[in-house]
Amino acid sequence: MEYLGESGEELIKDYQDVSREAIKEEYAGHVMKIFVLRESSAGVVFHYRANTSRYTLDFPVAVEACRNAGASIATPEQLTAAFEDGLDRCDAGWLADQSVRYPITLPRPGCEGNLMSRPGVRTYGVRDPAEKYDVYCYVDKIRGDVFYPPSVRDKLTLQQARDECVKHDAVLASPGQLYAAWRSGLNRCDYGWLSDGSVRYPVTVPRPQCGGNQLGVRTLYKYENQTGYPNPNDRHGLFCFKGKTQTHTDTYT
């Protein structure tokens, strides 16, 4: 099946953990900029929607959706900080205070909101919890590692991907875990299954064929309007997560 929708959900121009300095590298006959990713203690705000369609989450379901994605629902302050770092997303989403907002760094028709032609975080104010929108989630650092198993050569179905991660004493990574790993520098230009049935890949080294020279996490949608997840029987790569066990040292006196 050919998938028509691809989205760089969080396309960042100058994210705060990306060095302002750029080094030049020759690639396929073109000079391009390679941004160096620095480790940061800050987390990541990311847009999330149900696999069925746009604007299908009421407030309680939105909170649960972020939790199932390995994250928590973002606060207005976290979304504002993400906007100041360059987050641009023309999709209204729930926040923790039950308000609905979206960040626009590049004003354009259809995304004006209450700020018209000015950049900023658009707001619908506090809404009835029964109304339906998307949601903005937040994830901080994770205790563990997200990885693409190096032994995997063939593409796998969703169930095969789950089974493969088990072979590595791991589980399929959640979207939140992948975003956190991207924030820490994970770069893999290869679509992979995640625990919610979505298919994504992280880009920290921009290349034309890997996100159009943009940093971010790319999502493969089933439809051109950027909705729907791939069929579970389709074949893609995979991203696994292996948690780190916390060791305790007892001191006796």
Cα–Cα nearest to 203, from 67, 12, 59, 69: 12
Domain definitions of the chain by residue range: 44-138, 142-243
**Dihedral angle of Cα 27, 15, 119, 5, to the nearest 10 degrees:** 60
Fold of domain 142-243: Mannose-Binding Protein A; Chain A (3.10.100)
- Rounded distance between C-alpha atoms, residue 183 and residue 75, angstroms: 19
Place of tokens 């028709």: 109
160: tokens are 């095969």
The CATH class of the 44-138 domain is alpha beta
Question: Given this chain, do its domains 44-138 and 142-243 carry the same CATH topology?
Answer: yes
20: tokens are 């302002």
Q: What is the pLDDT of residue 245?
A: 73
- Rounded distance between C-alpha atoms, residue 15 and residue 7, angstroms: 18
Cα dist. 195→31, 83, 216, 225 in Å?
A: 37, 27, 19, 22
Task: Give the side-chain half-sphere CA count within 13 A for 198.
Answer: 28
The per-residue pLDDT string of the chain (253 residues; one tens digit each, 9 = 90 and over) reads: 333 345 544 444 333 333 333 323 323 322 222 333 333 346 999 999 999 899 999 999 999 999 999 999 999 999 999 999 999 999 999 999 999 999 999 999 999 889 989 999 999 999 999 999 999 999 998 999 999 999 999 999 999 999 999 999 999 999 999 999 999 999 999 999 999 999 999 999 888 888 777 889 999 999 998 999 999 999 999 999 999 875 544 443 3
Q: What is the pLDDT of residue 211?
A: 74
53: tokens are 């369609």
